């Protein structure tokens, strides 16, 4: 009897050992798949999150809101200083507004003189943040816009003022926004008065690094940084932030977007323009036919 029982246990143990080995092997295979065919693995992951997250969002929202209220409550402690600070800031802003209005008028006059045609204004869709990445090693967020809303990989995300990041991974009802602060984020930017090109690369801090600057002598801390639109990934001239020079002897960017209290974001609809591969295809047939009714049709988009 006892011997039988021991035999059973021994058998169970060896089965267990085999299963454990198989599990480890499968995990290894999954990692290999993730490493080799990363886009497909991430697509699988985003499809899964797309199923799950919108269903549990109702439970997340109240908790996040309560934590924000608590944070706001803590800030009541220094309400007087904040008030003073805001007044000073408002005063400065009024001066700037005055300057902006004057410039606006001047620009309108000059444009009128030149008869310049401006590109169409960028349109945007607004979305709500569903979740963050969940670990301090990745900086991203899931938003409630997806394929259903026409969102496409690579579009830019902004808050009201500055650039936040780009769409990377689109599900049916949700999409992931990789922030500028993420380790993997690389964005081509222009540093404004000197028009130097640089790459803004995230390093998991609130101050992403400005890499590959041609001539650092031409850059002052406080210079404006905007997207350059190189590569056609991003629309040009979206505000990113200001240059700062940090103690590790690097130029970094103080981001204009406020990551701390982010609830909504704007996704900029953007197409990099259609490249015309063969011009004779566009006009050739129309010109060869002598039909007077065919008039050249200009497509407004592009």
Partner 1 sequence: MNDFKLNLNWIRQVILVLFACAVIFFHLIPFTLAPTMRPAPDIVFCVICALLIRRPEIVPFWVIALIYFGFDLFLMKPLGVWTACMLGATEIWRANMYFFRENRFPVEWFSVSVLFLLTLIANHIILAVSIVATPAFTTLLWEYIFTTLAYPIVLFIITYILRIGKPALGEFGLKGQRL
| H helix or E strand, kind and range, residue 280 | helix 279-288
In angstroms, give the least distance from the CB of 169 to partner 1. Answer: 10
Residues 56-115 that bind partner 1 (CB under 8 A): 56, 59-60, 63-64, 67-68
* Choices 145-153, 175-183, 187-195, 280-288 (CB under 8 A): range interacting with partner 1: 175-183
In angstroms, give the least distance from the CB of 165 to partner 1. Answer: 10
Name residue 253's beta-bridge partners. 243
Contact 210, 194 (CB under 8 A): no
User: 173: which residues sit within 8 A by CB, 6+ positions away?
Assistant: 50, 54, 144, 146, 148
Is 48 a binder of partner 1 (CB under 8 A)?
yes
In angstroms, give the least distance from the CB of 283 to partner 1. Answer: 49
Nearest Cα neighbor of 64 from 265, 258, 263 is: 263
Of the two residues 61 and 93, which places its CB atom closer to partner 1 in the complex?
61
Question: Please, what is the angle between helix 2-36 and helix 38-75, to 10°?
Answer: 90
* Choices 49-57, 78-86, 237-245, 292-300 (CB under 8 A): range interacting with partner 1: 49-57
Backbone angles phi, psi at 38, to 5 degrees: -55, -45
Burial of residue 282 (CB within 10 Å: 0-12, 13-18, 19+) is exposed
Name residue, tokens 């990041």: 165
- The Cβ of residue 150 has, within 10 Å, a number of other Cβ atoms equal to 12
Contact 247, 279 (CB under 8 A): no
DSSP letter (8 states) at residue 184: T
In angstroms, give the least distance from the CB of 161 to partner 1. Answer: 15
Q: Figure out which of the listed residues 43, 122, 124, 138 binds partner 1, where binding follows CB under 8 A.
A: 138
Q: Figure out which of the listed residues 122, 199, 244, 262 binds partner 1, where binding follows CB under 8 A.
A: 262
Q: Figure out which of the listed residues 14, 74, 260, 298 binds partner 1, where binding follows CB under 8 A.
A: 260
- The Cβ of residue 284 has, within 10 Å, a number of other Cβ atoms equal to 10
Residue spans of beta strands (DSSP E) within 35-170: 124-132, 140-143, 156-158, 163-170
Of the two residues 25 and 212, which places its CB atom closer to partner 1 in the complex?
25
Q: Figure out which of the listed residues 16, 88, 94, 107 binds partner 1, where binding follows CB under 8 A.
A: 16
In angstroms, give the least distance from the CB of 176 to partner 1. Answer: 8
Is 35 a binder of partner 1 (CB under 8 A)?
yes
Q: What is the CA radius of gyration of the chain?
A: 27
Is 227 a binder of partner 1 (CB under 8 A)?
no
In angstroms, give the least distance from the CB of 212 to partner 1. Answer: 19
* Choices 72-80, 98-106, 109-117, 178-186 (CB under 8 A): range interacting with partner 1: 178-186
Q: Figure out which of the listed residues 122, 204, 250, 266 binds partner 1, where binding follows CB under 8 A.
A: 204
Site residues (vs partner 1, CB under 8 A): 5, 8-9, 12, 16, 19-20, 23-24, 27-28, 30-31, 33-35, 41, 45, 48-49, 52-53, 56, 59-60, 63-64, 67-68, 129-141, 179, 181, 183-184, 204-206, 259-262
């Amino acid at each position: 009897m006892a011997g039988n029982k021991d035999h059973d246990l021994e058998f169970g143990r060896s089965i267990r050992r085999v299963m454990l080995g198989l599990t480890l092997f499968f995990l290894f295979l999954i990692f290999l798949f993730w490493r080799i065919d990363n886009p497909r693995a991430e697509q699988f992951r985003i499809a899964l999150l797309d199923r799950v997250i919108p269903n549990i969002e109702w439970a997340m929202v109240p908790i996040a809101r309560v934590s924000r209220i608590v944070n706001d409550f803590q800030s009541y402690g220094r309400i007087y200083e904040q008030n003073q600070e805001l007044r000073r800031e408002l005063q400065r802003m009024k001066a700037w507004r005055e300057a902006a209005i004057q410039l606006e008028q001047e620009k309108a006059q000059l444009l009128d003189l030149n008869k310049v045609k401006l590109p169409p204004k960028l349109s945007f869709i607004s979305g709500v943040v569903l979740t963050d990445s969940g670990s301090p090693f990745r900086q991203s967020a899931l938003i409630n816009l997806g394929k259903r809303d026409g969102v496409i990989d690579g579009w830019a995300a902004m808050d009201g003022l500055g650039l936040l990041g780009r769409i990377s991974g689109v599900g049916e009802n949700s999409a992931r926004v990789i922030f500028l602060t993420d380790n993997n984020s690389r964005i081509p930017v222009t540093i404004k008065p000197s028009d130097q090109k640089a790459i803004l690369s995230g390093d998991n801090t609130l101050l992403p690094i400005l890499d590959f600057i041609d001539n650092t002598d031409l850059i002052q801390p406080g210079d404006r940084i905007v997207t350059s639109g190189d590569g056609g990934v991003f629309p040009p001239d979206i505000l990113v932030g200001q240059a700062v020079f940090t103690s590790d002897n690097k130029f970094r960017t103080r981001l204009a977007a406020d990551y701390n209290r982010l609830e909504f974001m704007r996704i900029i609809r953007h197409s990099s323009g259609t490249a015309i591969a063969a011009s004779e295809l566009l006009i050739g047939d129309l010109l060869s036919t002598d039909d007077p009714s065919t008039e050249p049709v200009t497509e407004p988009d592009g």
